[in-house]
Amino acid sequence: MSAYSTLSAEQKNVVINLIAYAKREKRPDIFLTSAVFTGLREQSLHNLPGGSGTSQGWRQEIEGKGTVAQRLSLAYSIPHYYRECAEIYRPGMPANELAERVQRPEKPYPEQAQTLALAEAILKSAPGVPSNFAFGPAPSVGTQLQPVSSIVIVAQPDPKDRSAKIRASGQKLGASGTSFEGHTKALRDTLTKTVKLSR
C-alpha cells in the first residue's frame, strides 16, 4: 500500500491541489515537497476551519493573511504559499528548512526527518493530475473537485495589498475554482475596461 493511498479523500484533495498548482506554474520540486511537509506538520494535510489561535486551513494561516474564507480556499492559500517560497528560498536549502522559514512556527517542527520522508513518499506515489484540473473546493463544499470553468485566474492577490491582482493577458479570462470578493471586483473592473476599449 502506497503512502498516498492511505490518505483520506480530504487529504488527497489537498495533495492533488498542491501538485496541480506546482506543475501548472512550473514551481521547483522543492517548493512542492515543502508544501506537503507543511501540510503534514500543520494539519496532517486536512483543510480544517480552525486551529491554534486565529489559524485556519491546511497550512494554518493566521489572521492578517486573508479572510477566513480565503485562508480556507485552496485556490487562494496554495498560490500564496508558493509565492512565499519563491521569496525565501535560497539554493541548497532543504525542503523542511524552507517550510519552517515560510511558516515561522513558534517552535521548530518535531520529527522533521520522518515527516520529510513521508512527504516524499506521498509525492512519489501520488497519481498524475489532469491537464484541465480546476482548483477547489470552496470552503464548506466538501472534497469534490470543482468543474472546469471557462475563466482562468492569472494572478492571485496578496492579502497585504488590497489592489486588484488580475491582469489582462490577451487570452480568455476566467476564474477556476473558488472565487471571492477581490477576484470578482478585479474581474469586473477588467471587463469594464475591455468593453470601453472595444468601443
Burial class (CB in 10 A: 0-12, 13-18, 19+), 133: buried
82 located within any domain: yes
**b/e per residue 49-88 (b: at least 16 CB within 10 A):** eebeeebbbbbbbeeebbeebbbbbbbbbbbbbbbbbeee
pLDDT at 152: 37
Domain membership of residue 189 (yes or no) is no
Q: Is 20 part of a structural domain of the chain?
A: yes
**What is the C-alpha separation between 178 and 124, in angstroms, rounded?**
28
Domain count, the chain: 1
pLDDT by residue for the chain (199 residues), tens only, comes to: 899 999 999 999 999 999 999 998 899 999 999 999 999 999 999 988 876 767 888 888 877 677 788 888 888 899 999 999 999 999 999 999 999 999 999 899 999 999 999 999 999 999 888 767 766 543 333 333 333 333 333 344 455 544 444 443 344 333 333 434 554 565 566 556 544 544 5
The SS3 call for residue 61 is: strand
- 3-class secondary-structure state, position 56: strand
The predicted pLDDT at position 170 comes to: 40
Q: What is the largest CA-CA distance in the chain?
A: 61
Phi-psi region of 154 (alpha: psi -120 to 50; beta: other; left: phi over 0): alpha
Confirm whether 59 is domain-assigned: yes
CB-CB contact of 100 with 194 (8 Å)? no
- Residue 183, domain member (yes or no): no
pTM of the model: 0.67
| 65: in domain | yes
Partners of 61 in the β-ladder: 56
Is 135 inside any structural domain? no
Cis peptide before 49 (omega within 30 of 0): no
Q: Which domain range does residue 25 map to? A: 9-125
Query: Is residue 155 in some structural domain?
Result: no
Nearest CA-CA partner of 45 in 106, 126, 141: 126
Q: Is the dihedral angle over the CA atoms 92, 94, 100, 102 positive or is it negative?
A: positive
Q: What are phi and psi of 61, to 5 degrees?
A: -70, 140
